[in-house]
Chains A and B, each alone.
Chain A
Amino acid sequence: MTSRALRAVAVGVAAWCGALPAVAQEDTLAAEAPGPAARASTSEELDALVTQIASKLRCPECRAQSVAESSSRISRAMREDIRERLEAGQTPEEIVQFFLDSYGDFILLQPRARGLNLLVYLLPAAGFLVALGIGLAKMRSRRRDLGAPDGRPGDPVDQMDADDRAWLDAAIRGGS
């Protein structure tokens, strides 16, 4: 009985996980068709591009938010500025460069990958690889077939808790 229940639960869980996109997307797909009472909104593509550029820039007076996220006044001003520049025909690269010229490197939320900045991109990956390498090397060089206490490698008895094993020994010997 439990195995069938198990299968049912597993499938149910899987289906629910998989269906999450539908549930979540429905909330956003409906945006395509505004209701009759809503005002027609400005161009969606422009919005998306503004958000994309703004999410690369750091709000100058906030803790750690992007210009896209922040509700602060200067961020709203910057978003409108980006929109105007896009409408005037500037490319995203030019717009980002303009903000770099005004504020300096700190306005970018992610450091440009050049010079010393490369360290922040390379060190984590390098660190991982080095640690992984050390770990694998140690495993390979020391790997021996030790054998479990009763002489058989991988014996299930060996997988028990120390408590369980003690209990088991006692039980085998006839105690309880």
Chain B
Amino acid sequence: MKNLLFLTLKSIRYRPIRSWLTILGIIIGIMLVVIILSLGSGIQNAVARVLQSFGSDLIVIFPGKETNPFLGFAGGQKFKKDDILDLKAISGVNLVMPMSIAILNTEFLGEKKSVMFHSQPWREMRIISEESKGVSLIEGYWPGNDETREVVLGYRAAYKLFKNKPKVGDDIIIKGRRFRVAGIFSEVGLQDEDNQMYLSHRNFEELISRPGFASAAVITAEKGSNIDLVAKQIKFQLSKQEVVSDFSVLTPEKANKVVGDVLSIIELVLIIIALISLIVGAVGIMNTMYTSVLERTKQIGIMKAIGASSSAILSLFLIESGMIGAVGGIIGIVMGIAAAYIVSLIAAGLGIRGLFSFASLDFLGFAAILTVTFITGILAGVLPAKQAASMEPAEALRYE
């Protein structure tokens, strides 16, 4: 066996370019699988972290389908603010926080920027943030009421946006009006949120063209209440309003599930693509093996003439194709990890951290990938190897 391995290595090295091109076919497939597996759980975790920051007794309401909450939040239909505030009457509802967003022109010490503004009532936001251990202030204070002209900055909005970093107590001009910086939020880790600035709903409505609407809302349930029942009642009551016909009421559990579902569909699609590329790789191996059987027909004859049995020839070719598969697997894993790591570094640069993880890719996973590629290689080699082994030596020797 050791000797057969040696012979195989020699013959692979005799045709280096062809061998490497074949191996490349496998590498690409495996690389894809590894990237998907090592980033997939990271993405899921990142999304779960965002959801957790809302807390476990929160219900989120937004227009549109559950599967695209961010799209619904960003544009499209809006709830009437009063319809949202009316939800307070439902038993089990503790707080209602209507939210809106808009991009507004902002100026600090003469430097002008377009900034995404998030609006909400301060009292509710403060309570929800403190309870759910979401954002917290790292500087300054929570504005005491919704009337004072005060703004709270997201982490990046405070420290990265302007050349001269605004401090607590500084004035910022928003759409021509002067607001005082009351505080700065801690870093969330998501660029969109960290770049935002926060205004009270009342201040916000003075700055926009269509007041009286809310893009979404966060509702907290009372302690001990049945959150699913509360969500159901909210849904029922909202179905009576006519502004937004298609909306979603999301509990944390459901949100997690929805995100998980979406991610698993994406993961599934990517894995199917990876499998297809693995199959393409296998066809590549088969093609190479057929060519190399043809090319080495005479040498097969020679080896048989000097005593190689059909099974020895079969083993030689199967080891060769298996080795091509396994080497492709090993390199694919290494390159996949490297690529995933680079992607996660880039994502971290954009504010999304901890994407890369070995959570769904332990040593058992690597062993499985290597086994699969080795077997794929062997299977791809079976037909050509059989053809090689079944040749009569005299016939093979005549081949030029």
A-B complex is real? no
Interface residues in chain B, defined as those with a beta carbon under 8 Å from any beta carbon in chain A = none
Interface residues in chain A, defined as those with a beta carbon under 8 Å from any beta carbon in chain B = none
